[in-house]
Amino acid sequence: MSAPSPAVAWVAGATGYTGREVVARACALGRRVHAHVRPDSPGLDAHRDRFEALGAVVETTPWEREALAARLAEVRPTEVYALLGTTQARARAAAKRGAPPADYAAVDVGLTLMLHRACEDAGIRPRFVYLSALGAGPKASTAYMRARWEVEETLRAGDLPYTVVRPSFISGPDREERRLGERVGATVSDALLGVVGALGGAKIRDRFRSIDAASLARALVDLAVDPAAAGAIVETDRLRE
């Protein structure tokens, strides 16, 4: 009897804080990992060196639905990680220099759903692991949270198996300080939640406190092959189990 084929992971958003750790974790567990990097990324050479040293294949397929579908049909991933996201600062910078839109609609929603549809076009059924956020909802107060909800709704209506992960702050001492506001917010929030936990609010503390990228990556890679996580929404407290 032949040995079963190894799991194959496609990581979109591989160069981000969480994405880098997902690539490393999946490689360490013996997955065949394809780390997707924008072909026009100014750090392409550095990303290639980093990921190839881990044993990953660096993918530079352009963000075009047909091109992605063709490549996905070749690779046939068993798990796809959608870890894409932008910031308001990046969106403003892109608009200022006349580049293609880089706002939540274009990146967080547009590219994620393009990847999802490309999987369907390729005729494959990987577990689609989507990094959403705690607080996502149709009436959320921020455009970011509403964008995450829009993607979640599409996944629920689609045919691919999926797992939605909703962490609170994703932060840690190793995160680049270009997101200083998020780091400070996580630090203050965790300090307050520590007080809540000491006063008997352990469930509230565990649900809302921040999680670092390495811990989140371990959870994401485990959830991708967990039958019980198919169709599930997993929040921060469960990500630590």
Contact 156, 113 (CB under 8 A): no
Rounded to the nearest 10 degrees, what angle do helices 143-157 and 112-121 cross at? 10
Residue from 104, 61, 70, 66 nearest 85 by CA: 104
pLDDT tens digits along 31-90: 999 999 999 999 999 999 999 999 999 999 999 999 999 999 999 999 999 999 988 888
pLDDT tens digits along 136-179: 999 998 999 999 999 999 999 999 999 999 998 887 666 554 55
Rounded to the nearest 10 degrees, what angle do helices 112-121 and 65-75 cross at? 60
Mean pLDDT of 215-224: 96
Domain boundaries defined on the chain: 8-167+212-239, 179-210
pLDDT tens digits along 7-30: 999 999 999 999 999 999 999 999
The count of other CB atoms within 10 Å of the CB of residue 99 is 12
- What is the structure's pLDDT at 195? 38
Q: What is the homologous superfamily of the domain 8-167+212-239 according to CATH?
A: NAD(P)-binding Rossmann-like Domain (3.40.50.720)
Checking if the pLDDT of 187 tops 50, the result is no
Checking if the pLDDT of 204 tops 60, the result is no
- What is the structure's pLDDT at 118? 98
User: Angle 13-241-238 (CA atoms, 0-180°, nearest 5)?
Assistant: 65
| DSSP structure class, residue 103 | S
- What is the structure's pLDDT at 22? 98
Whole-prediction pTM value?
A: 0.86
Checking if the pLDDT of 191 tops 50, the result is no
- What is the structure's pLDDT at 2? 47
Percent of the chain, pLDDT > 90?
Answer: 67
